[in-house]
Amino acid sequence: MTLSVDKQFYLTESLQQHPSAFIVFDKDLRIQWMNNSSRYIFNAENDNEIEIKGVFNVTKSKKLHDIKVASSFESNVDMKLRKINFFLRSRVHEVPLEDKTSFYLLEVLTNDKDSLEALRGTIACLENDRIDLAYQKQVDLKSGKLIGLEALLRMRDEEGKIIPNDKFIPLIEGESLFSLVVIASLEKLKEAFKLKEEFDMLGVTIYLNVSAHTAMQENFTKIFIDYVKELNLQPGELGLEITETAELEDLKKAGESFQKLKDIGIPLAIDDFGAGYSSLSYLRDLPVDSVKLDKVFAETISEKTTSELIKFVVSVCQTLSLEMLGEGIETEDQKEKFIAIGCPNGQGYLMHRPEFIADLKKNL
Ligand code: G
Ligand code: MN
């Protein structure tokens, strides 16, 4: 099939109002046209705010120009949007023209409305410095001693209101854009390490949440290795909580990435254990140091089934030499029950509500 120049015009015109984001570029990767949806996501008035720096065929991991492309292929497109660089999962369609040239139609793969909204919202937060962290204490339940701080991502909308994490994160996890959120978080996290020096919090681990999906991204481990070096962090000072909101296909590969992190002294905790996708196979395939029991268990700890399940996890952790922490502890009664069952550590509103750095500083 070839397309005459006027038909090319009609094709692009018909995509103008399409809900998916489309960008047209030529063989030299010059952007020629974007539809309204693209302009919306990237908040771009002008085509020159976006650059396509490379197009990588996902299946063959080759550059567009190295191979004879099929008429449509899945691709990672290396993009620059104003000042930020990221890869975007896309489908690229090659459309041959009558004059034997082609043009290329990039279709952003996250194309349901919520995903596009998440993409747009995240880009806006990144560009406008609307990414912050709140901190919640983790304690030894018996003594109350501070053992860790969990840094919780807090993104804000244009009006400064907190965007609920489940609105964006599950939808952009695994996108390279999410690595930029991690980088922005690490920048913010430096404030916590400063605090750590000021307040002599030896032995307190500061945990950041990441998804195993994010960890699968290349460069991801490098970001952390560089960070640990830059801040001269000692083993155990920075930890990661591995959260999962989607099924992970290649746990083994994730495990290999995580091993590299462990090797530089970053302890790993399985987050929300026992709920959603955070399953027993995580304990088998990921080199973890601790287990954080999902808060549903705290909620129903008075029920026999729940307390038996917690006992089971306590025993698994003991056998595998893993630390264990109960999440979502809101009452004295829940806390006492966790202690009685043998869960050593805890976190929850009873002990501490998440606070931004300035307030945390006052309460240390
Ligand atoms: O997935 P993860 O466990 O990282 O999520 C932690 C979230 O749970 C945070 O957003 C935090 O504000 C919230 N949280 C922390 N402690 C409690 C608690 O005691 N009860 C409830 N309902 N939520 C909590
Ligand atoms: Mn967590």
Q: What is the CATH number of the domain that holds 73?
A: 3.30.450
Q: What is the mean pLDDT of residues 219-231?
A: 90
CA 175/CA 318 separation, integer angstroms: 36
> What separation in Å is there between the alpha carbon of 208 and the centre of ligand 2?
7
Bridge partners of 55?
Answer: 77
d(CA 52, CA 108): 13
* Minimum-distance ligand 1 atom for the alpha carbon of 349: 19
pLDDT band at 48 (very low <50, low <70, confident <90, very high): confident
Question: Which pLDDT does position 63 carry in this prediction?
Answer: 58
CA of 2 to the centre of ligand 2 (A): 53
Q: Name which residue sits closest to atom 1 of ligand 1, judged by CA.
A: 272
Cα–chain-centroid distance for residue 192?
20
Cβ of 205 less than 6 Å from ligand 1: no
Please tell me the distance from the alpha carbon of residue 243 to that of residue 252, in angstroms, as a whole number.
Answer: 16
Is residue 330 lining ligand 1, measured as CB closer than 6 Å?
Answer: yes
Ligand 1 atom showing the smallest separation from residue 347 Cα:
16
When divided into structural domains, the chain yields a total of 2
Give the pair of three-digit tokens for residue 80. 């620059």
In whole angstroms, give the CA distance from residue 208 to residue 177: 17
| C-alpha 105 to ligand 2 mean position (Å) | 39
Q: Which of 87, 109, 131 is the last residue of a domain?
A: 109
- The ligand 1 atom at the shortest distance from the C-alpha of residue 243 is 1
Among residues 80, 109, 138, the one where a domain terminates is 109
Distance 167 CA to ligand 1 centre (A): 15
Q: What is the 3-state secondary structure (H, E, C) of 101-120?
A: CEEEEEEECCCCHHHHHHHH
Q: Please work out whether the CB of residue 355 comes within 6 Å of at least one atom of ligand 1.
A: no
Q: Which residue has the higher pLDDT, 333 or 254?
A: 333
- Distance from the CA of 136 to the center of ligand 2, in angstroms? 10
**Greater model confidence, 285 or 359:** 359
Residues 77 and 141 in one domain: no
Claim to verify: residue 184 and residue 267 sit in the same structural domain: yes
Of 357 and 216, the one with more pLDDT: 357
Assess whether 88 and 204 both reside in one domain. Answer: no
Band (pLDDT 50/70/90 cuts) for residue 192 is: very high
Q: What is the share, in percent, of the chain residues with pLDDT greater than 90?
A: 63
Q: What is the pLDDT of residue 319?
A: 96
85 alpha carbon to ligand 2 midpoint, in Å?
27
Pocket test for ligand 1, best of 154, 295, 338, 353 (most atoms within 8 A of CB): 295
Residues 97 and 161 in one domain: no
Tokens of 293: 């029991």
**Does 110 score more than 50 pLDDT?**
yes
- Both 15 and 70 in one domain: the answer is yes
Pocket test for ligand 1, best of 332, 349, 359 (most atoms within 8 A of CB): 349
The pTM for the full model equals: 0.89
Q: Which of 62, 93, 109 is the last residue of a domain?
A: 109
Tell me, what's the pLDDT at 64? 58
Calculate the average pLDDT of the chain.
89
Highest-pLDDT range among 76-80, 114-118, 256-260, 300-304: 300-304
The confidence score (pLDDT) of residue 68 equals 52
CATH classification at residue 335:
3.20.20.450
Residue 208 has pLDDT above 90, yes or no: yes
- Nearest residue by C-alpha to atom 20 in ligand 1: 328
Q: Is the pLDDT of residue 67 over 50?
A: no
Average pLDDT, integer, range 241-266: 84
Q: What is the pLDDT of residue 66?
A: 47
Ligand 1 pocket check: which of 135, 149, 152 to mutate, most ligand atoms within 8 Å of Cβ? 152
* 223 and 340 part of one domain: yes
Q: Does ligand 1 lie within 6 Å of residue 271's CB atom?
A: yes
326 lines ligand 1 (CB under 6 A): no
Token pair 């041959």 is found at: 96
Are both 95 and 210 inside the same structural domain?
no
Residue 9 has pLDDT above 80, yes or no: no
What confidence score (pLDDT) does residue 130 get?
Answer: 96
Compute φ and ψ for 302, nearest 5 degrees. -70, -20
The verdict on 212 and 304 lying in the same domain is: yes
Ligand 1 nearest-atom number relative to CA 136: 15
254 lies in the same domain as 156: yes
Residues 50 and 146 grouped into a single domain: no
CA distance 287 to 322: 10
Residue 62 has pLDDT above 60, yes or no: no
Lowest mean pLDDT among 185-194, 217-226, 299-308, 325-334: 217-226
Give yes or no: residues 96 and 125 share one domain: no
Residue 176, C-beta contacts closer than 8 angstroms, at least 6 positions apart? 76, 86, 87, 88, 217
Domain membership of residue 259 as a residue range: 115-363
pLDDT-derived band at 29, boundaries 50, 70, 90: very high
Average pLDDT over residues 244-261: 80
What's the pLDDT tens digit per position in 117-171? 999 999 999 999 999 999 999 999 999 999 999 999 999 999 999 999 989 988 8
Angle at 177 between CA 171 and CA 183, to 5 degrees: 115
- Closest atom of ligand 1 to CA, residue 272: 3
